């Protein structure tokens, strides 16, 4: 951790685990260090980064927080909720991609928090993957992305949630979800005692990408073409078309219904629990990709559990090319 913090303090990049995915880190207030993140990821300069802070007392230095922002921070931080607020000048324009706002969260992972404490200033960190590729949830996955250009990494093992944070816009009159994630819409509504907008349901994805440029339709894509089924039953019914292909199953339960020979099946979880599926999703997508098959078959999840909209969001994106 000390090594990573001295690397970051010197204006270079380091990779740290968070409770969601691994982050490619640099000092948030150093425009030169920020430009190194964009370059290494191959990220368009129009896609802003998240600034990570140790606690609520750091909010005022970089943003114009509203009472709602403080309430959410008190409730959910440290944790996987990112809030978008009007930014202050300390945040360089290349971090915010020229927007007048900044996305902020306080991560829960002890290693990331220790480094925040040591550098004593906000750290910018997008997911530590090449732009438009699957986010990394293990150290090995980060190394596969960056190869010999990989910055120093702190290995924190597999990430707890496995899906990127929920992004909530607080810069407009009505709070609105820009990216569904581990903290669900009902949880946020309960904490605030008010309705918030779930833009992904009410508007087209194109509108979201204007508001949150990183949320383009082809985000999170593996290299193997993905065929998405609306349910497990539909996927099972179509198995004759999947010879020599790979199938990602949500649980063990129905695996014996794949009776056609020549299909490779991978499990997203044993028990179908959405928490396990979320945790394993990117790792299994990555594994399926490495098989080099002609196609990957996956299905949307059904159910009322809070994590399901976030998981289905990533499945839809993985299938968009
Ligand atoms: O869980 C996470 O959020 C991880 C860990 C490392 O913290 N980070 C992450 O960062 O997923 P990234 O860069 O891969 O995704 C950040 C998302 C993008 O969709 C980006 O467009 C959006 O947040 N975003 C950042 N700043 C924004 C802003 N000012 N307004 C709207 N959306 C913003
Ligand atoms: Mg990302």
CATH number at residue 183: 3.90.870.10
Distance from Cα 252 to the centre of ligand 1, integer Å: 33
Residue 42: how many CA atoms within 13 Å on its side-chain side? Answer: 8
Residue 73: how many CA atoms within 13 Å on its side-chain side? Answer: 23
Q: What is the pLDDT of residue 213?
A: 60
Domain span holding position 145: 2-211
Nearest CA to ligand 1 atom 29: 102
Residue 195: how many CA atoms within 13 Å on its side-chain side? Answer: 3
| Structural domain includes residue 217 | no
Q: What is the pLDDT of residue 218?
A: 55
Q: What is the pLDDT of residue 173?
A: 85
pTM of the model: 0.94
| Structural domain includes residue 79 | yes
- Where a domain ends, among 180, 211, 242? 211
Q: How far apart, in whole angstroms, are the C-alpha atoms of residue 49 and residue 40? A: 14
| Structural domain includes residue 218 | no
| Co-location of 165 and 314 in the same domain | no
Distance from Cα 240 to the centre of ligand 2, integer Å: 35
Q: Which atom of ligand 1 is nearest to the CA of 129?
A: 14
127 close to ligand 1 (CB < 6 Angstrom): yes
Q: Are 96 and 102 in contact (CB under 8 A)?
A: yes
Give the Cα-Cα-Cα angle 156, 162, 166 (nearest 5 degrees): 120
Structural element, H or E, at residue 91: none
| Co-location of 195 and 252 in the same domain | no
Q: Which atom of ligand 1 is nearest to the CA of 128?
A: 6
| Co-location of 111 and 55 in the same domain | yes
Q: How far apart, in whole angstroms, are the C-alpha atoms of residue 136 and residue 128? A: 6
Nearest CA to ligand 1 atom 12: 126
- Where a domain ends, among 178, 211, 244? 211
| Co-location of 250 and 191 in the same domain | no
* Paired tokens of 129: 């993957």
165 close to ligand 1 (CB < 6 Angstrom): yes
| Co-location of 174 and 241 in the same domain | no
| Co-location of 197 and 268 in the same domain | no
Nearest CA to ligand 1 atom 10: 126
What is the number of structural domains in the chain?
2
User: Splitting the chain (321 residues) into consecutive groups of 10 residues, what average pLDDT does each group show?
Assistant: 90 98 98 98 97 98 97 98 98 97 98 98 97 94 96 97 97 92 96 86 47 59 92 95 95 88 94 96 94 96 94 92 66
The ligand with the least distance to the CA atom of 37 is: 1
């Amino acid at each position: 951790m000390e090594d990573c913090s001295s690397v970051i303090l010197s204006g270079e990049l380091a990779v740290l685990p968070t409770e969601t995915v691994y982050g490619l880190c640099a000092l948030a207030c150093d425009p030169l260090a920020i430009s190194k993140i964009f370059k290494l990821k191959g990220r368009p300069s129009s896609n802003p980064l998240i600034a990570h802070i140790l606690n609520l007392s750091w909010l005022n230095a970089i943003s114009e927080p509203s009472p709602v922002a403080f309430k959410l921070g008190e409730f959910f931080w440290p944790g996987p909720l990112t809030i978008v607020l009007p930014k202050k000048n300390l945040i360089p324009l290349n971090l915010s991609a020229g927007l007048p706002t900044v996305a902020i969260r306080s991560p829960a992972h002890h290693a990331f928090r220790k480094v925040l404490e040591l550098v004593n200033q906000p750290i910018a960190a997008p997911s530590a993957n090449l732009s438009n590729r699957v986010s990394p949830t293990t150290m090995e996955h980060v190394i596969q992305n960056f190869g010999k250009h990989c910055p120093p990494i702190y290995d924190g093992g597999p990430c707890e949630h496995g899906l990127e944070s929920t992004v909530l816009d607080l810069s407009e009159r009505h709070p609105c979800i820009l990216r569904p994630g581990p903290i669900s819409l009902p949880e946020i509504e309960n904490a605030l005692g008010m309705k918030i907008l779930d833009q992904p349901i009410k508007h087209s994805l194109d509108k979201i990408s204007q508001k949150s440029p990183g949320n383009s339709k082809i985000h999170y894509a593996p290299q193997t073409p993905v065929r998405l089924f609306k349910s497990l039953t539909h996927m099972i019914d179509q198995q004759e078309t999947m010879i020599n292909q790979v199938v990602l199953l949500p649980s063990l339960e129905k695996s014996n219904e794949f009776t056609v020979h020549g299909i490779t099946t991978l499990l997203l979880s044993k028990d179908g629990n959405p928490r396990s599926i979320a945790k394993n999703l990117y790792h299994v997508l990555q594994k399926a990709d490495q098989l080099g098959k002609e196609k990957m078959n996956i299905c949307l999840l059904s159910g009322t559990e809070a994590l399901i909209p976030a998981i289905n969001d990533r499945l839809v994106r993985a299938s968009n090319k």
